[in-house]
Amino acid sequence: EPLVGVKEKIAKIEAKFGKAQNVLVNHIYWTKFFELLEKYTVPDVYFNGFSGNTSGSIHLNAVADNLPAVGRQIIVLKEAQDFVQKFEVSNITLTGSGVTFSLELILRPNVFYLGK
């Protein structure tokens, strides 16, 4: 019957759609990470170095205008429950133009995926 052929074609299309949807759901999106980093960075802090991996371990070299800005950044990261699981601040150094410091972030697992 012609209907049997149509059912088989529909089944094949549905299988392909399911695979494509799975690829999209599990695709890694760095853009989401950078959007959240921007959201949770205080105005007097900027980053001038970055390394990381999709396992959620991120190292950032940061510069702040002053020590209170570093403190504000720490408070904001503590409250960033949808972004950071835990973090560590190190190498705080006063310079002639502000404060440099390092951040080690462990991100929430869903940060790199859309819809999660």
pTM exceeds 0.75, yes or no: no
Residues of the chain with pLDDT under 50: 20, 23-24
pLDDT of residue 115: 60
C-alpha 7: how far from its chain's center?
42
What are the extents of the domains in the chain? 28-112
pLDDT of residue 31: 82
pLDDT of residue 55: 79
Asked if residue 56 lies in contact with residue 10, where contact means CB atoms within 8 angstroms, the answer is no
pLDDT of residue 17: 59
What six digits make up the tokens of 53?
């991996």
pLDDT of residue 10: 64
Q: Domain 28-112 belongs to what architecture?
A: 2-Layer Sandwich (3.30)
With tokens 């390394």, the residue in question is 51
